[in-house]
Structure 1
């Protein structure tokens, strides 16, 4: 199993609120596509941060998990987290952009490298 697929499986195990998203994703794609899945994770995480839906997985748990995974320094995991999570966070002036202030030090540094203007 690839590190990026394991990342998805570990996220769903750690934050069970993503189980429905995972099941619909696998049903629609016939497999796990980590980059596609994490685009949806980003959207749900930002919506949770905004308080838009109490049924969404808690954004803090998601950021904590991703910070831990990012700190491992595994290239395939970093690629998914950076390109399919951090790069899709809201831009300055958009609702939810303040979530970037909540990133842990490892993800904050990676975010600053890929989006220096925020």
Structure 2
């Protein structure tokens, strides 16, 4: 099992709100595809940040999970976080505002990935 899958499993275990996204993802694709899961997760994160649904503590918990994952210095999970989370936030105009919630490793990856 790769680190990308472990990353998603840890997030779903630690943040129950995201379990429904995970289950819908598995039902639709028949397997866990970490890049696609993170793209789907980004929409929920944006709704949380915008206050369309309550749960900013879940956003903070996600950021903590991503920061911890980056400490493992694993290329697979780093790639999932950079390409399917950070770039999606940037593409939807949310990366700059989210940086205040990011730890140092995640901010550095955002800078490396998107120059922000």
Cα RMSD for the two superposed structures: 2.0
TM-score under structure 1 length normalisation = 0.88
Q: In structure 2, do the counterparts of structure 1 residues 95 and 105 end up closer, same or farther at CA, with 3 Å as the change threshold?
A: closer
2:74 & 2:22 partners in 1: Cα distance? 22
Q: In structure 2, do the counterparts of structure 1 residues 26 and 43 end up closer, same or farther at CA, with 3 Å as the change threshold?
A: same
Matches within 5 A, 1:1-118: 1-54=1-54, 58-90=58-90, 94=93, 97-116=96-115, 118=116
1:17 & 1:57 partners in 2: Cα distance? 11
1:44 & 1:86 partners in 2: Cα distance? 14
Q: Which moved more, 1:30-39 or 1:62-71?
A: 62-71
Q: As a proportion of its length, which structure holds more helix?
A: 2
1:97 & 1:52 partners in 2: Cα distance? 19
Asked if structure 2 preserves the Cα contact closer than 8 Å seen for 1:4 and 1:77, the reply is yes
Gaps of 5+ in 2: none
Asked if structure 2 preserves the Cα contact closer than 8 Å seen for 1:36 and 1:84, the reply is yes
Asked if structure 2 preserves the Cα contact closer than 8 Å seen for 1:63 and 1:104, the reply is yes
